[in-house]
């Protein structure tokens, strides 16, 4: 019987050390630049995406506005060309809808493998 995927380590989907996603803007559930997943990160912000205008528009249309600044929360908004830790469920939906963004696979936490297979992730990776 296969072991369940351990989601609370700091490994990427390739089984290597998880690399930072973005320090400017500062991303991640804990705003530490990493897409690590912990029990507190219930949204599983595990996948490091490369934001494009098209993806940001798609995300806004589907109820996840990443581009509008919210200064009251210290959020400047994600701009095209920036990297961002995206929620695993939002990413899985974008794959299903045919609107998945490119990703940085070395900065994507292994927990996303619970939602999206490795071959799909490799096809979207811009750092392989």
Q: Give the integer Cα–Cα distance in Å for 80 and 4.
A: 36
Closest CA to 46 of 7, 17, 5: 7
**Angle of helix 88-96 versus helix 53-61 axis, rounded to 10:** 100
Residue 85 per-residue DSSP state: E
> Tens of pLDDT along 77-107?
999 999 999 999 999 999 999 999 999 999 9
Which tops the pLDDT comparison, 15 or 2?
15
> Cis peptide leading into 25, omega within 30 of 0?
yes
Q: Give the integer Cα–Cα distance in Å for 54 and 3.
A: 38
Q: Give the integer Cα–Cα distance in Å for 11 and 60.
A: 30
| CATH 3.30.56.110 fits domain 47-124 | yes
> Tens of pLDDT along 37-70?
988 877 789 999 999 999 999 999 999 999 999 9
> Tens of pLDDT along 17-42?
999 999 988 899 888 999 999 888 77
- Residue 55 CB-density burial (10 A; 0-12 exposed, 13-18 middle, 19+ buried): buried
| pLDDT at residue number 6 | 47
Contact 83, 50 (CB under 8 A): yes
| Global confidence as pTM | 0.89
């Amino acid at each position: 019987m296969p072991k369940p995927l351990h989601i609370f380590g700091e490994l990427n989907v390739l089984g290597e050390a998880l690399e930072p996603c973005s320090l400017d803007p500062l991303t991640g559930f804990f705003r530490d630049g990493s897409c690590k997943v912990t029990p507190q990160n219930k949204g599983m912000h595990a996948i490091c995406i490369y934001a494009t205008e098209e993806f940001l528009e798609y995300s806004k249309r589907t109820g996840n506005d990443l581009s509008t600044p919210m200064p009251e929360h210290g959020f400047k908004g994600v701009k095209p060309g920036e990297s961002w830790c995206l929620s695993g469920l939002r990413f899985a939906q974008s794959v299903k809808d045919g609107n998945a963004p490119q990703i940085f696979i070395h900065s994507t936490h292994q927990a996303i493998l619970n939602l999206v297979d490795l071959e799909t992730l490799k096809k979207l990776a811009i750092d392989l």
